Structure 1
Amino acid sequence: MINRTVKSLGLALTLLAASVSLYAKNNVVVIATGGTIAGAGASSTNSATYTAAKVPVDALINAVPQIKDLANVSGVQALQIASESITDKELLSLARQVNDLVKKPSVNGIVITHGSDTLEETAFFLNLVIHTDKPIVLVGSMRPSTALSADGPLNLYSAVALASSDEAKNKGVLVLMNDSIFAARDVTKGINIHTNAFVSQWGALGTVVEKKPYWFRNTLKRHTTSSEFNIEHIKGDQLPVVQIVYGSDSMIPDAYVAYAKAGTKAIVNAGTGNGSVASYIVPTLKQLHDEQGIQIIRSSRVAQGFVLRNAEQPDDKYGWVAAHDLNPQKARLLAALALTKTTDANEIQRMFWQY
């Protein structure tokens, strides 16, 4: 009789534990960095004229009390800045804070509120240097919190839903904007005045509808746990200097030369079309590469498509690198990280194929 009672009690406890586990909420940390989602305008009709980075993290969380039904949410104020003012110093600092948090067993997911202007760069950088399978979701807004039909609250709600979902594990760093889930690698800001501002030429990974993520594709490029870059191996608060020159007609070589004098280690040429370089600029770039060892990365100012190696320019002959489908701003980040490991153009090209 006693044995039967003990067994029954044990079964009841097992079922209770399973029930508690089934309904237990994950722990999500919201890391605030500023941006429009934390912005405030003079009136509710100011959706384009406002001051960014005014609302602190606790106020952001409290403004959407429904997120506490999704997860146990806590907040960290990492930065309070408009995202166009973020430098490598802030990127490295943020990455180290994220890295410290994802190591904690008590943290199941991360949401980073961020200005939309450079959200794609921060997302891509974290995608390359943070080694975790836990969801990391960047979110922003196109309208300040004080505007009519502000998009920030629902974006934040959906981001927390995504970061608390076990289905979001091991998918790399994600961006949640306007109900769409994007891969950090290929998302970009495509328009500056509408709430559907973020796009990917390869399409969204999925969507969040009424707090549930729905998935339709995955990213095959290396990221997070499979990356050869690691924030723990990067010292100091600066990356190798990489700068971008925007291609057009009637260019002059002075910008390239000035960047070389300023100590840049690589130049991303945001060329026309297929990463084209004007014939009268080619001698300058060859000289900078051959005589000063500056890496030349051919990207494109065109929003879609990709740069073909040895098309338009003989990259093999010149020792230049094709950025593939990475836009100039993401090419800058990958080139900077690559230069922490090598100055071999062939190795850098491999990285551009794989990431």
Structure 2
Amino acid sequence: MSLISSQKLMLIVAFFIATFFAVLQTAPITPPYIKTNPTAPESTALNEPPESPKPTVAVLATGGTALGKGGSPTDTSHYISGASHIDSVIDLIRLDFQEIAHVVTHQILSTDSINFHAKELITIRNGIIEYLRRPEISGVVVVTGTTTMHIVARFIEHTIPLFNKTIALTGAIKPLTAYGADGPGHILSAIHTVATRCLNRVVILMENKIMLPRRSYKHHNTFVPGDGSLLGSVVNFRPEIFNAPRDIPKTFDIQGLEAHDKIPRTKYFHPMMEEEEFDRAIKEGVEAAVLGVYDDGYFPERLTNGLKKLTDQTQN
């Protein structure tokens, strides 16, 4: 593996695991830089009418509870995650979005999000990029599992450059076959949000809340927005934005990485470790470090020399 690819994969693995440890401003109403989505260009590839003024939204599915199948309508705990195809949900809600948007679908995975690894994250990221680059696509909805939704959102946020298009992640708490299944409504709300609001950011849309990924997380089957991350709410399955996204996240260039690329050997270092652990890791062939940090990223000074040894060894 080339040095550049190894370093890119180190960033992915470190980000993927460290997000678990990072999980634990109000602007004027209708800020001028949150604008309605521009009309989508003509799309002959998608067989849309040339005169159509409606935007085109790509709905990408990875599986999860929103596409889950249980044994009965009362079964909300023992079900097969991702057993349904995204088109089966779209057919349920088509009448409620067809006046405001065209929708194209792509089932890129059918996986329970608890089984996501770096290769699944790369697959999702590359699938989103493919659609963002198409000029006729106004934005992307990603239907995924809620257990790792905040991790997927943070990964996408830091590895996809801004395209002046909205990416909305959504899912469900109850499977598609259950009474009160919330997946169809969440997907409908996400389509409306992407089609009518150009936020130019990655957002999570769950339980009538529209939030940025930063510090947002799932807790006791509900989603909690991080500090300053709540952008708006959903009313009648349509977005109402009352806060503007502020800071633009830093992105890492992982262009060229594919899901089949080998992942470097990784080790976790917590703040109470001794510096000798880094020497031992070098001897074991460790190529990437995941750091447990204090607060917003503080790492003990006494361990920085050991960390530098490891990073220098990896770069040589």
- When normalised by structure 2's length, the TM-score is 0.72
Distance 2:133 2:167 in 1: 13
Counting only pairs closer than 5 Å after superposition, residues 84-163 of structure 1 correspond to structure 2 as: 84-131=114-161, 132-163=163-194
Give unmatched runs, 5+ long, in structure 2: 1-51
Show the counterpart of 1:238: 261
Equivalent AA in structure 2 for residue 309 of structure 1: Y
SS at match of 1:184: coil
Q: Where in structure 2 are the equivalents of 1:305-316 lying within 5 Å?
A: 306-307=295-296, 309=298, 313-314=300-301
Count of paired positions: 258
1:215 aligns with 2:257: no
1:298 to 292, 301, 304: 292
Per-residue CA deviations over 1:175-203 (Å, capped at 9, x if unaligned) read 111111121233222223xxx33432444
In 1, the alpha carbon distance for the partners of 2:152 and 2:287 equals 28
Residue 128 (structure 1) shift:
1.6
Structure-2 separation of matches of 1:203 and 1:187: 7
Superposition deviation, residue 110 in structure 1: 0.5
- Structure 2 matches for 1:1-150, cutoff 5 A? 24-65=53-94, 66-131=96-161, 132-150=163-181
Larger Rg: 1
Distance in 2 between residues matched to 1:24 and 1:344, nearest whole Å:
55
Distance 1:134 1:286 in 2: 42
Tell me the residue number matched to 1:176: 205
The 1:235/1:74 distance shift into structure 2, 3 A limit, reads closer
Q: Distance in 1 between matches of 2:247 and 2:167?
A: 17
| 5+ residue gaps, structure 1 | 1-22, 242-262, 270-275, 301-305, 322-341, 346-355
Moved more, 40-49 or 197-206: 197-206
Contact 2:122 2:258 in 1 (8 A): no
SS in structure 1 opposite 2:62?
A: strand
* Secondary structure of the structure 2 residue equivalent to 1:124: helix
**Cα distance, 1:237–1:128 mapped onto 2, change above 3 Å:** farther
CA deviation vs aligned residue, 1:83-104 (integer Å, no higher than 9, x gap):
1112211221222121111111
TM-fit CA distance, 1:67: 2.5
Cα deviation, 1:208-243, whole Å, max 9, x if unaligned, reads: 2221331314241425xxx2x2342435633644xx
Q: Considering only aligned residues, what root-mean-square deviation do their CA atoms show, in Å?
A: 3.0
Residue by residue, what CA displacement relative to the aligned partner does 1:15-39 show, whole Å, maximum 9, x if unpaired? xxxxxxxx93210011111100000
CA gap of 1:319–1:181, structure 2 versus 1, over 3 A, is farther
The amino acid that maps onto 2:108 is A
> What residue in structure 2 maps to residue 206 of structure 1?
232
Asked whether 1:267 is paired with 2:268, we answer yes
Name the amino acid aligned to 1:28: V
How far does the alpha carbon of each residue in 1:130-189 deviate from its partner, in whole angstroms, 9 at most, with x for none?
Answer: 222211111111111122221112111111111112332x2x211111111121233222
Conserved 8 A contact 2:141-2:170: yes
Distance 1:221 1:108, change over 3 A: closer
More helix by share: 1
Distance 1:290 1:318, change over 3 A: farther
* 1:267 Cα offset (Å): 2.3
* Matched AA of 1:71: A
Partner AA of 1:85 in structure 2? N
Equivalent pair of 2:64/2:112 in contact (CA under 8 Å): yes
Matched to 1:44, the amino acid is: P
Aligned partner of 1:218: which letter? P
| Aligned partner letter, 1:299 | V
Percent sequence identity is 24
Partner in structure 2 of residue 337 of structure 1: none
Higher relative contact order (CA 8 A, sep 6+): 2
